[in-house]
Amino acid sequence: MTDIKRRLLACALLMCMMVCVFAGLAATPAEAADVRAVNWMENIPDETKLSSMSIPGTHDSCTQNVDMRYIFQCQDASIATQLKYGYRYLDMRLVLEKRSGQETLVLKHNIARCKISDSPFSRTLTLADVLKDVYTFLDEHPSETVILCMKAENSKDDVAAVQKALYAMIDQASERWYLKNEIPTMGAVRGKIVLATRFDDKLQVGSDHCGLYFGWTDQGDRAVLTDPTAESAINGRETLCVQDRYNYDVGDKITAIRTCLDSSRAADDTFFLNFTSTSGSGAVGHPKGYAKDINLDLYAYEWEAGKAYGVVIVDFGPKKIAEKIYGTNFQ
């Protein structure tokens, strides 16, 4: 074999090896979808207000493992998995508990405790557990932001004490939080948690530190379906608009959801929250049963590319619905 033939053969072998290597590195469609889900915010322009986007969210986000799950479970994925799926609004229900003489913020849904596993002997899930997952996600995906909406779940808790315990945790990493009561741009919050609260600023920390004020009148009544929303002030310039009719049966709830999707009020000065969750019209609800029908309808809905739907907050949030929602941000 001549030197020229040997060189040609060597080049051919090298090219075959390179093709095999790159073929192994090429992402499958599923892997490509995963990459987009974890980084979908990276292509949102920095100047875009969060309120002028379509953001997937989950309701009672910490209830993957919860006591009395037939009644109180609203999610079947962990916080880490929800973030991986593309959900960027998480609903936190905080209760203050004393442990070994120290006050600790734990997660509950009504009277049911959220747990770190499905074992009956599992310890209660704490806010510190959740923050660890969110911080890790944002470290790995700095193009993203996560809205944490805090609610004092136990009406007997002193809200000032809940707020104090919350700020003690925030102060440990305050540079990782957006704390102003002003709707931010995407560029201002990349790699950060956006604080939103459903309770008043009892500590009077002021508008630069209290977080977005997401307080609204309870919507447990069966109001007229023609306009199922309610408005409240975030501050003197910006408005919160919410649909959270949680006592509707499935048919009426779907009507309310679609009414709000069709005529979305999301805008630079209006944060629009559209809850798809319901506990039904009876005395005891079964969220998973209701979510099955509602999520099928959400998947079938004709989402419009380029339209801002606000935050759409779902029960048992699947990856495909998150994709439908955040996908509308792109033409």
Residue 20 lies in a domain: no
Find, among 249, 253, 258, 237, the residue nearest to 303 by Cα: 258
CB 280 within 8 A of CB 237: no
* Segment-wise mean pLDDT, segments of 10 residues, the chain, 331 residues: 54 47 45 79 98 98 96 97 98 91 92 95 96 98 98 91 96 97 98 97 95 92 71 95 93 95 96 95 81 97 97 97 97 81
Write the CATH number for 42. 3.20.20.190
Domain count, the chain: 1
Going by C-beta distance under 8 Å and a sequence separation of 6 or more, which residues neighbour residue 171?
none
Find, among 145, 150, 149, 225, the residue nearest to 192 by Cα: 145
- The reply to whether the predicted model has a pTM over 0.85 is yes
CB 312 within 8 A of CB 147: no
Question: Phi and psi of 91, rounded to 5°?
Answer: -100, 110
What pLDDT, on a 0 to 100 scale, did the predictor assign at position 298? 98
Residue 8 lies in a domain: no
Residue 57 lies in a domain: yes
Residue 45 lies in a domain: yes
Residue 38 lies in a domain: yes
Residue 278 lies in a domain: yes
DSSP calls for 242-310: EE--TT--HHHHHHHHHHHHHT---BTTEEEEEE-----SSSS--HHHHHHHHHHHHHHS-PPTT---E
Scanning 108-204, the segments in alpha helix (DSSP H) are 127-140, 159-170, 186-189
Name the CA dihedral angle for 309, 152, 91, 209, rounded to a multiple of 10 degrees: 70
Residue 18 lies in a domain: no
**Rounded distance between C-alpha atoms, residue 13 and residue 27, angstroms:** 24
Residue 12 lies in a domain: no
**Domain span at 200:** 33-327
**Rounded distance between C-alpha atoms, residue 259 and residue 268, angstroms:** 20
